[in-house]
Structure 1
Amino acid sequence: MENRNPQLQRAIKVLGARQRQISHVATPQATKLVDKTFYLNVRVDGMSGINELVDANTKKVVGVTNLDGNQLNSGRDVVIDAIRVQYTTKGEKIENADWQSRDTLPAELQNAELRLIQTNDMLIDLPLTDVQNFKLDDYRPIATTPLLRAKEEFKLELEFPKGVNVPVGKPLFLRLEFRITEAKK
């Protein structure tokens, strides 16, 4: 496993930069850092164009996602330090999907773009081939360590090239995992 120390040091700096003013003196807030992984399993067969993967109606469902809507709770800022994508055609239900697939992404997904946007700022904009899981423990480091702020809506979307759609028929599932450092206040 890679040494995550540089990513975690950046995360601490980014999260520590959030300070409050008391008598015109900046003082750091007491912050507890926790390593977590946000994940989202999505059925992608039949998709084309731009698809919002998370919205206000997204609910936590064990084995499907641990995101609860499209904004984080108050006092819970998140720094993303790595991401990976897995896909599978094994399983009829998303809850039963087998994420052991190490194959190359299907052609329809190879040129799709994954975007994470908050307050009109593009935090992540990468083609799926750039974040695909080639080995079981591979994560693609995100050098910019984007900060996902609490109490502000974000968009997680998947955009396919014009004229490309994922065929309907055989179930095709995508799993997105974001390795994060969460700051709890």
Structure 2
Amino acid sequence: MENRNPQLQRAIKVLGARQRQHQQAVRPQPTKLVDKTFYLNLRVEGMSGINQLVDANTKKIVGITNFDGNLLNSGRDVVIDAIRVQFTTKGNRIENADWQSRDTLPAELQNADLRLIQTNDMLIDLPLTDIQNFKQDDYRPIATTPLLRAKEEFKLELEFPKGVTVPFTKFEGGGLFMRLEFRVTEAKK
């Protein structure tokens, strides 16, 4: 297990700068830091163009996602320090996808870009090949430690090259699934 102390120190600095910007006249409440992983499992067959992965209708479903819409609750800012992507063709439904399997990533997905945008600021803009994972503990560090602010809408999107569609094909035992994991430090006030 890697030492996360440098990521935690960066998160504290980012959150501290955010708090200094928005000082209130009342006495500030103490901030608690919590390690968390935000995750989203989805079926990617048939996707093309730009796909919004999280929107206002996204609901928490244990085992599928812990995003609850496309904005964070009041008093819960999040600093992202790492991300990983897993793929599988094992399982016929998203609820029983086998994330232990490491299938070869189809070319259509290798050329797609993942973006996280909040208030017209690009927080993450990476090709999937840069964050794909074939080992259980590998996360791609995000050196800029982007701050996802509470009560402000964000977009999480997957963009495919023009004219590319992930085919609807019969995979052994099911469909083509993707899991996104964001390792974060959450500040609770």
TM-score interval w.r.t. the shorter chain?
Answer: over 0.9
Aligned counterparts, 1:30-49, within 5 A = 30-49=30-49
Distance 2:176 2:119 in 1: 31
Contact 2:86 2:178 in 1 (8 A): yes
SS of match in other structure, 1:67: coil
1:22 has 2:48 as partner: no
The alpha-carbon deviation at position 90 of structure 1 amounts to 0.6
CA RMSD of aligned residues (A): 1.3
Aligned counterparts, 1:96-115, within 5 A = 96-115=96-115
Matched with 1:125 is: 125
Deviations 1:156-182 (A, max 9, x none): 000000111100133110000000000
Matched with 2:144 is: 144
Letter of the 1:176 counterpart: L
Matched with 1:85 is: 85
Gaps of 5+ in 1: none
The alpha-carbon deviation at position 3 of structure 1 amounts to 1.6
Gaps of 5+ in 2: none
Instruction: Tell me the number of residue pairs that the alignment of Structure 1 and Structure 2 aligns.
Output: 182
Aligned counterparts, 1:1-20, within 5 A = 1-17=1-17, 18-19=19-20, 20=23
Distance verdict in 2 for CA 1:71–1:32, change over 3 Å: same
SS of match in other structure, 1:22: coil
Distance 2:161 2:151 in 1: 32
Contact 2:89 2:103 in 1 (8 A): no
Deviations 1:58-100 (A, max 9, x none): 0000010000000000000000000000000111110100001
The alpha-carbon deviation at position 29 of structure 1 amounts to 4.7
- Which residue of 173, 176, 185 corresponds with 1:181? 185
Aligned counterparts, 1:46-65, within 5 A = 46-65=46-65
Contact 1:74 1:150 in 2 (8 A): yes
Q: Percent identity?
A: 86
Distance 1:16 1:50 in 2: 34
Contact 1:89 1:172 in 2 (8 A): yes
Letter of the 1:15 counterpart: L
SS of match in other structure, 1:6: helix
Matched with 2:161 is: 161
Letter of the 1:35 counterpart: D
Contact 1:16 1:28 in 2 (8 A): no
Q: TM-score, normalised by structure 2?
A: 0.93
Q: TM-score, normalised by structure 1?
A: 0.95
Contact 1:71 1:153 in 2 (8 A): yes
SS of match in other structure, 1:177: strand
The alpha-carbon deviation at position 22 of structure 1 amounts to 2.9
Deviations 1:91-124 (A, max 9, x none): 1110100001223311110010000000000000
The alpha-carbon deviation at position 28 of structure 1 amounts to 6.1
